[in-house]
Structure 1
Amino acid sequence: MKKIFLALAAAVAFQNFSAQEITLDKIYSGYYRGKGIAGITSMKNGENYLVIEQGGIAKYSYKTSQKEGNIVDGNFESYEFSDDESKILLLKESQPIYRHSFLGNFDVKDLKSGKVISLNNGKPVQEPRFSPDATKVAFVFENNLFFQDVDSGKITQITNDGKKNSILNGLADWVYEEEFGHARLYEWTKNSDAIVFVKSNEAEVPEVYIPIYGKSLYPQEMRFKYPKAGEKNSVVSAQLYRIDSGKTTQLNLSSFKNYYIPNVIQTAKPDEIVLITSERIQNASDVLKVNTKTGTVQKLFTETDEKWVDTDSPTLEFLEDDSFLWGSERDGYRHLYWYEKDGKLKKQVTKGNWEVTDYYGFNPKSKEIYVQTTEKGSINKVISKINIENGKSQLISNTEGNNSANFSKNYNYFIETSSTASQPYTFVLKDGNGKVVKELQNNNEQLQKLKADNFVEKEFITIPNEAGDLMNAWVMKPKNFDKNKKYPLFMFQYSGPGSQQVSNSWDNGNTLWFNHLVQKGYIVACVDGRGTGYKGAKFKKVTYMNLGKYEIEDQIAAAKWFGNQSYIDKTRIGMFGWSFGGYMTSLALTKGADVFKAGIAVAPVTNWRYYDTVYTERFMRTPQENPDGYDKNSPTEYAKLLKGNFLLIHGTADDNVHFQNSMEFSEALIQNKKQFEFMAYPDKNHGIYGGQTRPQLYQKMTNFILENL
């Protein structure tokens, strides 16, 4: 389960609005919409970068920041270069499937000759990828793996057994895609002579049936494989395909952990691929090196943790000598470790009571890595370069806020994207030492509009919980705040494992709605309790086997703390959350019924038995192993405790957190003679959007708050 970002902007005709107030109409008109820079990519020469603009893919100079023309004319959703930049893969249009997967129509253009060919004869494909030598593009079509010669256009089919809801080749099934975070499960070798891919047999995985109402006389039906906690997963195997022989062989992983194969990674050397695998209990991962000439598999090392190992977004970077960097929480914080090519640990590269949150690359000339970290506080993210041999570190970004980077290939420049809770996104070109070359884009106009309408900034504080931790929090108070007056409190949270809502960063989504509520006389607050991220493994993993228990205890403790402040009316405290946050709100209105007067739960899990295997079992193990952990933290078990005003919201076509969750909770509330409000959104998925859906949803939630809190 990934955090749902609630973007509130919609493309609606511009209107004239009265000033001094942030309204839903203004939010949804796009009046406050910010500006960005799309598709930033450094060219191989390190002197130019590309961006997607209306009418083409534009080429800019780092040195002068001036546009030097388009390398391709036309409108495209995204693009990808071949390694030598002689060819470019262009996505013309796409149709989403699940969170990451989509069907796309792609062209391949030779930038030297100008020749253009349509991938797969113009039929939509999934997950295309150039071979490193730029002569071929692999792709998935109807669950089979293919490659196409970009000169002749000849298409070669690698697999033949792909079948919907049965066999997938080189493509993630629903739960892999959702929880391991990507759809592609194949990779070319560095010398382009082989592909290693994962074959998934999901024939025995139970199916989910979702009615689609639409406008047809009889509802249609969406069916897909969805393994719920404790149920059967896809049976996966690693396959090696050799271009020279045209033959596919199954790799022997019987001596290693092989229940999950979430990652297939190219190394720096030819004839090598790395697999990251684990058992169903996700507390250990094998890092395996495959010799693609012989098919032999060697274990480099095993990453272990007494609770769980995150394998959805592993940091694994192979350097030119085939040594590699690996991200691990083994010392209590996420840091980078340097390994020899044979898997022997060389040294820990970063260390401290902070975390490496992103890895950007390695400069072999200076022996420096470029990383994003929390070394300036857990609510901030900054950028540093660190010498991996002597450990010397230099901060090259702003010292506060949320800062990310896109580096030139030679690391002489980077484009820094920065924001704080009070300053919208800015895009600044800097040199490799962090010196400003030029501001490329700001959002001062957006901020001016918001300030003219009395935008309220977040105030960051810490709040104690019963375990003695100081929890990060933010508070938004009315402009005319009077400490002698008592205000109703509206709390927002997500609270899922490793997540973060209390961040010193700009939010174009819910923060605008929260401002609207603040202007109506509410104080809005958010607290990141135990289980959330960027404060170390102990704080994050204390919730193991008891998902929901400590998280709701901390939200209740925070509500009580606020209730003891002189300016809060403790009889008027409410909560809102979406997905995991909806689950927490459901617990707040039941287990915390004496504290919370009102709550809005959107798309909530109401029993972890209904959620998927990979996510749920990572934190809870299976229901067979841990039945109490599932049931004792389920809102359904506490339906009889509901006291306050409760609004339950769900999309009927939610493929992620199924509508079943809200139906089961509703039935429990009904059988306990509890009154509540329920809103179902026909054919809407986990994001609940499309057309006028979001404006109607947020107006409904606003009305509920005004009437019940």
Structure 2
Amino acid sequence: MDRKTLNSDGFPRQFARSRRFSLGVPRHFTVSPDGDRFLFVRTGSGTDPVGRLWEYDCGTGEERILADPALLVGAGSGAVPEEERQRRERARERSEGVVSYATDDAGRLVVFALSGALWAVRTDGGAPFSVPAAGPVVDPRPSPDGRHIAYVSRGSCHVVDLTGTDRQLARAEGPEITYGLAEYAAAESMGRLRGYWWAPDSRRLLVARADITAVERRYIGDPADPTKPPRAVRYPAAGTANAEVTLWLLGLEGERVEVEWDRKAYEYLVDAGWDAHGPMIAVQSRDQRTVRTLTVDPATGATQVLHERTDPAWVELVPGTPTRTASGALVLPEDAGGTRFLTVGGLRVTPKGLQLGEVLGTADEQVLFTAGEDPTESHVWRHEPGHGVRRLSRAPGRYTGVERGGTVVLDGVTERGPEVSVVRADPDGDGGDGIGAGAGAGAGASYGVIASLAEEPVVVPRPVHLTLGERELRGALYLPSWHQEGTEKLPVLLDPYSGPGMQVAIRARAWFTCVSQWFAEQGFAVLVADGRGTPGRGPAWEKAVHGDLLTPALEDQVDALRAAGARFPDLDLARVAIRGWSFGGFLAAAAVLHRPDVFHAAVAGAPPTDQRLYDTHWKERFLGHPDEQPENYARSSLVGHGHLLRRPLLLVHGLADDNVAVAHTLRFSAELLAAGRPHSVLPLPGATHAPADDGVNENLLRVQRDFLRDALGGFKVPEERTSGE
């Protein structure tokens, strides 16, 4: 392959304009009850940020656009309500236009919001049409029977029929109260992005009310524009008050019943739903050691304990649980003996060593879920009584999916990039032993592929997958494509995340694997490793960081580096740098503070330097309450250790970050300065925790490269490898 192509300076530009190669990728799938068709969202190309609503015909393999924002509201999608902007920030949404939608049970009426306006379209023909609403619309969802649409506007919960007759079911009593929206901790740290749920009979809703009056107020300003007033946000920092969340049963005719549970003991509403057996909710204690599944009496709001999970560290929240099968069998995770099992009706249905990731849904008595035997992969599985569990996806990668009416849509990120395959079961066949992208068609199954319009990266990852050290850390080594073994020593760049909630050493071509390869093409040997605390290796591995988020994570990076250096002599362990963002940024800064004997330079992006400044649910999960266990916060923070810095350090932070506040970096920088420790700070005006500006994202890669090259020195990059720079 041509060196100039591999090392083209065009990669950062491509990375930015493609929004991390997310544009043009099909997502958000909904299969019709008969399995004959399904809906999805996809932008127009790999550089077009505007999402469109599509329908796929499983019989013909044809796609058609149901809604194009450019034809409805003009180019782009215009301004969105502040509540919707916050929802997208929590979801890390990078596109515009139609970014989400909801359907009735038949999959015939589809609703979505554009520029705060309510739109609907019928899949049986006709153009999209606007539905009059009382104000800016957030999170619209049709009733199961398709006769009404619920939505949130200015914190109040509304229901409108298709003629525009609007009813306000719950009015926000003040500016700090919302009905039908997820509060910050739920959306950012619990994975609950919803705040209301329809009853199956379409006559009532289960609605969350969030009162954030007692939550700590923070102010986010724009120092680049001193004439602009700061924005006030409510942020529940560790040890401080959470939002007060209650639940209400709201009838279309005005009925209102409060759901009762011990909110003092269980202040977190983890999830909720309403199926044929009635409403069901999951609540969690503040110390997160207990999660209860409760049934709700829809007439009185009274609750009963259906199940209780406890753990001496914390109860891990598994997406998609709790849920029930058609017979009412409760579907839950169970942690035991180093394995996270799937249980149905109280019985374990998955084998030891298969780690449950997420429950994707149920159909009759079948359960669709994700799980992995190897932490570098995650696959879609199905459990069916009498048939056990069967893996549906085959090729290496990380998958999710949906199933309905005999059709499975497998949404995968494989070693070739994003791949979406459609599997239609033949009622006269058995479906074979396995289905999915990369699998041979089994008996009784037909296949289709949904086109991805995403750009192909000009730098293609070439990882060497590794198992490193005594703890068998999963890692990947990225070497320059032009490097010839034994000809020269390469400086090493560790490129980890290594925190709870994310893995980077995976058998899939994700955006971060492309970035690691790009840094390799710049002259580094790039090593990534997933240490203790990362998901995918079972509960004992995840909870090894309980009480100390720093020591195990840093030890594992050092061990991975030394093990890789012993196997690959071309790695120059006398020149080692580390970079990262968020938890990875925290880890990078900690590396040069505490292990300057190993790490010689670091770039730390949006690092949470003071664990007390982070949110309640996420931080107290690992470190406990700061008033009760202050030593855990001191042990896991960078503040107080600034005097240890001896190596070059670049701190990068978005000034509009409402997740990891810029105060983390500013206070730490002040501490470094007071200790006489030179360092660099790069502020990003207007940037949130996930910077959205293409120019920032493009040049941020180059700034990091140049800083690390200068810090390590001794780079030998032939002219042809930097052509175009």
TM-score using structure 1 length:
0.86
Q: Which residue of 2 aligns with 1:459?
A: 464
CA displacement 1:203-226 (0-9 Å, x = unmatched): 1211001112454x5232010111
Query: Does the Cα contact within 8 Å between 2:135 and 2:154 map onto a contact in 1?
Result: no
Give secondary structure in 2 for the equivalent of 1:329.
strand
Q: Which residue of 1 aligns with 2:10?
A: 25
Is the alpha carbon distance of 1:627 and 1:323 closer, same or farther for their aligned partners in structure 2, counting shifts above 3 Å? same
2:593 corresponds to which of 582, 585, 590? 590
* 1:269-418 map, 5 Å: 269=277, 272-311=278-317, 313-339=319-345, 345=346, 347-364=347-364, 367-375=365-373, 377-387=374-384, 389-407=385-403, 409-411=404-406, 413-418=407-412
One-letter amino acid of the counterpart of residue 142, structure 2 = F
CA distance in structure 2 between the partners assigned to 1:560 and 1:546 by the alignment: 23
CA distance in structure 2 between the partners assigned to 1:234 and 1:404 by the alignment: 32
Is the alpha carbon distance of 1:562 and 1:670 closer, same or farther for their aligned partners in structure 2, counting shifts above 3 Å? farther
CA distance in structure 2 between the partners assigned to 1:404 and 1:533 by the alignment: 16
CA displacement 1:595-627 (0-9 Å, x = unmatched): 100100000000111101110011111111111
Give the drift of 1:50: 3.1
Which piece of structure 1 moves more, 686-695 or 655-664? 686-695
Is the alpha carbon distance of 1:254 and 1:331 closer, same or farther for their aligned partners in structure 2, counting shifts above 3 Å? same
Give secondary structure in 2 for the equivalent of 1:624.
coil
**Structure 2: tracts of 5 or more residues without a match:** 45-50, 73-96, 426-430, 713-725
Query: Does the Cα contact within 8 Å between 2:26 and 2:451 map onto a contact in 1?
Result: no
Q: Which residue of 1 aligns with 2:79?
A: none
2:157 corresponds to which of 145, 157, 167? 145
CA distance in structure 2 between the partners assigned to 1:142 and 1:158 by the alignment: 13
1:42 corresponds to which of 31, 43, 48? 31
Q: Which residue of 2 aligns with 1:258?
A: 266
Give the drift of 1:492: 0.8
CA distance in structure 1 between the partners assigned to 2:563 and 2:151 by the alignment: 55
1:190 aligns with 2:200: yes
Give secondary structure in 2 for the equivalent of 1:46.
coil
Which has the bigger relative contact order, CA under 8 A and spacing at least 6? 2
CA displacement 1:126-166 (0-9 Å, x = unmatched): 2222222222211111111121123x4221112233433x2
1:643 corresponds to which of 639, 642, 646? 646
Q: Which residue of 2 aligns with 1:167?
A: 177
Give secondary structure in 1 for the equivalent of 2:620.
helix
One-letter amino acid of the counterpart of residue 168, structure 2 = Q
Which piece of structure 1 moves more, 176-185 or 526-535? 176-185
Query: Does the Cα contact within 8 Å between 1:257 and 1:277 map onto a contact in 2?
Result: no
Give secondary structure in 1 for the equivalent of 2:514.
helix
Query: Does the Cα contact within 8 Å between 1:386 and 1:393 map onto a contact in 2?
Result: yes
CA displacement 1:555-600 (0-9 Å, x = unmatched): 2222333444522222100101100111111110101111100100
CA displacement 1:468-518 (0-9 Å, x = unmatched): 4111010011232323632110001112124211110111x2333333322
1:227 corresponds to which of 226, 236, 247? 236
One-letter amino acid of the counterpart of residue 463, structure 2 = K
1:177 aligns with 2:171: no
CA distance in structure 1 between the partners assigned to 2:587 and 2:533 by the alignment: 12
One-letter amino acid of the counterpart of residue 396, structure 1 = L
CA distance in structure 2 between the partners assigned to 1:40 and 1:249 by the alignment: 34
CA distance in structure 1 between the partners assigned to 2:330 and 2:280 by the alignment: 11
TM-score using structure 2 length:
0.84
Q: Which residue of 2 aligns with 1:618?
A: 621
Identity of aligned residues (%): 22
Q: Which residue of 2 aligns with 1:428?
A: 421
Is the alpha carbon distance of 1:445 and 1:694 closer, same or farther for their aligned partners in structure 2, counting shifts above 3 Å? closer
Q: Which residue of 1 aligns with 2:678?
A: 675
**Structure 1: tracts of 5 or more residues without a match:** 1-16, 94-103, 340-344
Q: Which residue of 2 aligns with 1:688?
A: 691
Query: Does the Cα contact within 8 Å between 1:24 and 1:513 map onto a contact in 2?
Result: no
* 1:74-223 map, 5 Å: 77=98, 78-93=100-115, 104-109=116-121, 118-119=130-131, 121=133, 123-150=135-162, 152-164=163-175, 166-213=176-223, 215=225, 218-223=227-232
Instruction: Count the aligned residue pairs.
Output: 655
One-letter amino acid of the counterpart of residue 417, structure 2 = P
Give secondary structure in 1 for the equivalent of 2:273.
strand
1:472 corresponds to which of 471, 474, 493? 474
* 1:628-667 map, 5 Å: 628-667=631-670
Give the drift of 1:444: 11
Give secondary structure in 2 for the equivalent of 1:212.
coil
One-letter amino acid of the counterpart of residue 150, structure 2 = A
Give secondary structure in 1 for the equivalent of 2:260.
coil
Give secondary structure in 2 for the equivalent of 1:521.
coil
Q: Which residue of 1 aligns with 2:57?
A: 61
Which piece of structure 1 moves more, 478-487 or 298-307? 478-487
CA displacement 1:12-47 (0-9 Å, x = unmatched): xxxxx9943333324414698585334433222212
Q: Which residue of 1 aligns with 2:719?
A: none
Is the alpha carbon distance of 1:419 and 1:132 closer, same or farther for their aligned partners in structure 2, counting shifts above 3 Å? closer
CA distance in structure 2 between the partners assigned to 1:292 and 1:445 by the alignment: 46
